[in-house]
Structure 1
Amino acid sequence: MAEKQKKSGRLQRGLLIGSLALNLLVLGVVAGTVFTGNGPGGPQRVDLTAGPLTRAMEGERRDAVRTALRESGAFERRDRSEIRQDMQVLLATLRADEFDEVAFRDALSRQRARLQSGQNAVLDAVTAQIEEMDSEERAAFADRLEDQARRAPAPRRQSN
């Protein structure tokens, strides 16, 4: 019985760590895509969020999205510091003799809230630009977005 509980606890920890890693990946993809202006011919990224939307924006509209995100405060230096602090909490809870589920979940919840705030800021900025488009601009945007959606990330190399 005790062995079964240990396996279940390890599985839960693994799932929580995986969830945190995925959350951080998504936040990184959103911020990186928006702030680097990764256009056609640039390195491909895994797009789990609004990446194709921002890449399909052109010129002044893409710049306006970047400006809106900077002004939103969604990706401040403070967030990186808080992310590191929460990572330290997660590591400490994992290394402790007694697992503190509440502290672990609280740290993950803070990470998720930061991620959601960033995603909301991106979607608000993109939506504001789309609302200003006329029907022809939206149709052209839709074509570029469709093109972005068709681009697949490069296949991973298999190591033997």
Structure 2
Amino acid sequence: MMIEQAKPMRRRWLLIASLALNLVVIGVAVGAAWRYAGHDKARLRMPPVGALLFRDLDAGTRQSLRSKAEGDHGSYHARRRAEGARVVELLRATPFEAAALGEMLNAQAERRHSFQRSVQEAWLGKIEAMSAEERADYADRLQHRVDHPKRRKWRE
């Protein structure tokens, strides 16, 4: 008699577990469909003006500016990892030297500012070389990109 009662109870739990798993799978599928169907409005933000200017430079100029910004690290990401590792190292130092951390952060900010200035100078040189008609056409294209942002591309 005990065995007969245990089977319906086990079946009920199996049914509940199966339904729960199905709901999880359906939820993941609906969430993915929602995200990739263009409903993720946060990803449709206007890119920073500096990014627009940088993307409008020719590939050779962009590569030259990147190489200068990367320094001895070989890549932007390697430089960022090295900077992050240095911050962690300075935070763990005993005794803690706030001045050293401040100097490191100031140097990082100056490198960023220097890169931004070099992009602006290169872009302005490109714009100065344009005729009035070319500048007007460029302004129209830029206005369209500002008014109709595309999905953000994380890596270009």
TM-score range, shorter chain: 0.5 to 0.7
- From 88, 92, 95, give the equivalent of 2:92: 95
Contact 1:69 1:121 (8 Å CA) reproduced? no
Q: Alpha carbons of 1:129 and 1:87: their partners in 2 closer, same or farther (altered >3 Å)?
A: same
> What letter corresponds to residue 47 of structure 1 in structure 2?
P
How far does residue 136 in structure 1 lie from its aligned partner after superposition? 0.6
2:111 to 92, 114, 118: 114
Counterpart in 1 of 2:47?
47
User: Counterpart of 1:75 in 2: which secondary structure?
Assistant: helix
1:78 aligns with 2:72: yes
Find runs of 4+ consecutive structure 1 residues off by over 6 angstroms: 43-46
**C-alpha distance in 2 between matches for 1:141 and 1:118:** 23
Is the CA contact 1:54–1:126 (under 8 Å) kept in the aligned structure 2? Answer: yes
Query: Alignment partner for residue 122 of structure 2, among 120, 125, 128?
Result: 125
Q: Could you tell me which amino acid in structure 2 is paired with residue 53 of structure 1?
A: L
Structure 1 residue ranges without an equivalent (≥5): 1-42, 156-160
Output the CA distance in 2 between the equivalents of 1:76 and 1:95. Answer: 26
- Judge which range, 124-133 or 68-77, deviates more: 68-77
Distance 1:76 1:86, change over 3 A: closer
What SS does the corresponding residue of 1:47 show, helix, strand or coil?
coil
Residue deviations 1:54-74 (CA, integer Å, cap 9, x gap): 44x4xxxx42xx323434552
Q: Is the 8 A contact 1:93 1:100 kept in 2?
A: yes
Query: How far 1:148 moved relative to its partner?
Result: 1.6
Instruction: Give, in whole Å, the separation in 2 of the partners of 1:69 and 1:153.
Output: 21
Equivalent-residue separation in structure 1 for 2:109 and 2:103 (angstroms): 10
- Between the aligned residues of both structures, percent identity stands at 27
TM norm structure 1: 0.52
In structure 2, what is the Cα distance between the partners aligned to 1:143 and 1:134? 14
One-letter code of the match for 2:72?
A: R
More helix by share: 2
Residue 61 of structure 2: aligned partner: 68
Aligned to 1:145: 142
The structure whose Rg is larger is: 2
Cα distance change of structure 1 residues 110 and 77 upon mapping to structure 2, 3 Å threshold: same
Once the two structures are TM-superposed, the CA of residue 123 in structure 1 deviates from its matched residue by 0.9
Distance between the aligned counterparts of 2:72 and 2:49, measured in 1? 22
* Amino acid aligned to 1:124: E
